[in-house]
Amino acid sequence: MKTFCGRANPTSGALDWVEESEEYDYHQEIARSCYADMLHDHDRNVKYYQGIRAAVARVKARGEKVIVLDIGTGTGLLSMMAVTAGADFCYAVEVFKPMAEAAQCIVEKNGFSEKIKIINRHSTDVTVGPDGDMQMKANVLITELFDTELIGEGALPSYEHAHQNLVQEGCEAVPHRATVYAQLVESELLWSWAQLQPVEVEGARLAPLPDVSRCAGAHSVCDIQLSQVSPLSFTPLSPLCTMFSVDFSKPVSSAFRSHSSQFVAQSGGRAQVVLSWWDLDMDPSGSIVCTMAPSWTYPQPKMAPWRDHWMQSVYFLSVERQVTEGEELSLTVCHDDYSLWYSLRSHSQQDPQTDALPSRPCCTCQAHLVWTRPRFGELNDRRRTENYVSALRSVLREDSVCLGVSDGSLLPVFAHMLGAKKVYSLESSRMSKQVIEQMLEANSMKGGVELLEIRPEQLTTNDLGAEQISVLMGEPYFSTSLLPWHSLFFWYCRTALAGLLRPDATILPCSASLHMMAVEFQDLWRIRAPCGTCEGFDVTPMDEMVQRSLDFHESREAEPHPLWEYPCRALTQSAEVMTFDFTQCLPQRPISCQGSLPFIRMGRCHGVALWMEYHLTDDITVSAGLIGPISEQGECEWSRHRKQGVYFLRSPWESSGDGRAAVSYSFTFEPTSGDIKMDFSIESQ
């Protein structure tokens, strides 16, 4: 039986009906997950195996049979470690059915099926007894239920239920404990992701919404590769604080908790951001430690293990405050069963009887619901704003009638400030419209921009006061975009609005171009590397069926990644491979191009990086990819505001850098679907 699901096409804006059959390959969902990254995490695997062997040995030393409960078994790796270490039996719980089926195949292939039972349930539904899923309670509890925020995957409720129902009192736990650390910092870079800064346009100041500066912001954690945030971009105001620990060998509570750490400010500045990460002690003595600390905390940063399934967290204080060196302060972390949040107080002003703990952050200004954190950073990028203002200044006239097509954009506001006769803006959502309305009102510009919550194809001359558009502008930015070329939705809008444009209308940007280059990734390649074996433990974790699906390249698709977080080296020159002329309507026929780029640097080519550049005018270009020249060694600097596209090659290619080999490419843009089909191959001379 086949069913169809309606999905909005991010490029064309159309509603596509996608066929979904009962035979849908969920292994592709596994392929897109972090399983490959975890299996390649040598540090994690070694530390887990060491902790498991030690726990099994402690139980055996007491003369007991070792019965293991592995919650969230995934591929079954930790269960196989336990049996290899001498466990008598292991109950491996996995709620995701396709993954449980894969784990069953993997366990059987490695000869562990007699000692490992895969249970396809949520752990809170598992029963113990003669007719239950488990014959007896376990005396060793093994879990990998953690995310970047430690508890975001429901670790606390799962542990709470396990201790009440599934494990013996005084059980061994691997990991034994987790400890959360935090550091208070001032950082213009990080703070730009949370609050809108004032903007200068032609000597006038566009002030941010007062409600935004008082808002606690988005409730979701900001998880990033903090190793890629240079210590030069922030000033530590506190030492590294130990906030709290959780002992997993004892009953765990998922109830609300708060923990405070008192410290003396080590420097003065604006308290804005809290950096946070955690450690896992795999044994009670704390001699086997798996840490999430960023690389710049290591004496030798290059020795830090890389992982993408666990990163570091950035938390934003609801309001920045000035602190002075030597001031006594208290940093408080609160958590419910799934989230953490932080607050700062002066130690001298605290009164336990009257000071209420802050509730979980929740956006009250709507701006944090309209703009993502990278989008805040983009809006706060002064150089980028100057480019757009310069481009607008060069095309606007006193009689200009402007129409903006982007989501939650400030371009229409800039056009009004630059003296356009009339400015309209199409907004994709009511919430976005309300945020821009509030900004206009806060800056006494109400009525300066007319906001229209309407689709481009529905717009008529009546909506424009019977006038025609002389300047159609966009950044372009759309909240539905995932891949770089999804912003070509602007072209579809421009085509739908063709009948409302003056014959001499200016389109800004006038064109866009797709760029590419072959790259060697420092670490990102691990997330798509084959998983025939597991680093740090001698088993074959993937059967052939699962391995084929984990070889994500079978789909032949690019995927979005913020490359500023994932360093890479350019092995070829960068090249403009396709151009999209916005001054013309969308073509009826596909656009195709082919070519090749010779390898000019030695290295291992893992794939191709792809990005868009927007040509606002003939001489002003804004890049959503590379933002500086490539160094002699091939190092690249990437925009932090947008994700770039990455196309992983089926197998890495060793480049000698002598130009005798090249990456050949073929691109086809399909106007009817909005897709860009691409193919790459390596050719040697």
| Number of CB atoms found within 10 A of residue 285's CB | 9
Asked if 612 and 624 touch (Cβ cutoff 8 Å), the reply is yes
By C-alpha distance, which of 433, 467, 439 is closest to 453? 433
Phi, psi of 214 (to 5 degrees): -100, 5
Residue 679 one-letter amino acid? D
**Tokens read off for 7:** 């999905």
Matching residue, tokens 């009638």: 401
* CA-derived radius of gyration, the chain: 28
244 Cβ contact list (under 8 Å, min separation 6): 179, 180, 257, 259, 333
Helix/strand/coil percentages in the chain, nearest 5 = 25, 35, 40
**Tokens read off for 160:** 């709470």
* Pairing outcome for strands 199-201 and 204-206: antiparallel
Active site residues: 144, 153
**Tokens read off for 541:** 């974790």
Cis peptide upstream of residue 175 (ω within 30 degrees of 0)? yes
Compute the distance between CA of residue 521 and CA of residue 542 in angstroms, rounded to an integer: 24
Compute the distance between CA of residue 171 and CA of residue 136 in angstroms, rounded to an integer: 13
Compute the distance between CA of residue 280 and CA of residue 645 in angstroms, rounded to an integer: 33
State how far Cα 361 lies from the chain centre: 20
Compute the distance between CA of residue 165 and CA of residue 137 in angstroms, rounded to an integer: 8
Asked if 288 and 53 touch (Cβ cutoff 8 Å), the reply is no
State how far Cα 161 lies from the chain centre: 30
Task: State the DSSP H helix or E strand holding residue 200, giving kind and residue range, or none if neither.
Answer: strand 199-201
What phi-psi label fits residue 110: left (phi over 0), alpha (psi between -120 and 50 degrees) or beta?
Answer: alpha
Query: CA distances (Å), 282 to each of 5, 141, 182, in order?
Result: 45, 12, 21
* Pairing outcome for strands 501-508 and 241-247: unpaired
Matching residue, tokens 């008598």: 88
Angle at 289 between CA 286 and CA 292, to 5 degrees: 135
Q: Is 513 exposed, middle or buried (0-12, 13-18, 19+ CB in 10 A)?
A: middle
Angle at 340 between CA 338 and CA 341, to 5 degrees: 145
Number of H helices, E strands in the chain: 15, 34
State how far Cα 272 lies from the chain centre: 21
DSSP string, 16-79: EEEEEETT--THHHHHHSSHHHHHT-HHHHHHHHHHHHHHHHHHHHTT---EEEEES-TTTHHH
DSSP bridge partners of 531:
none
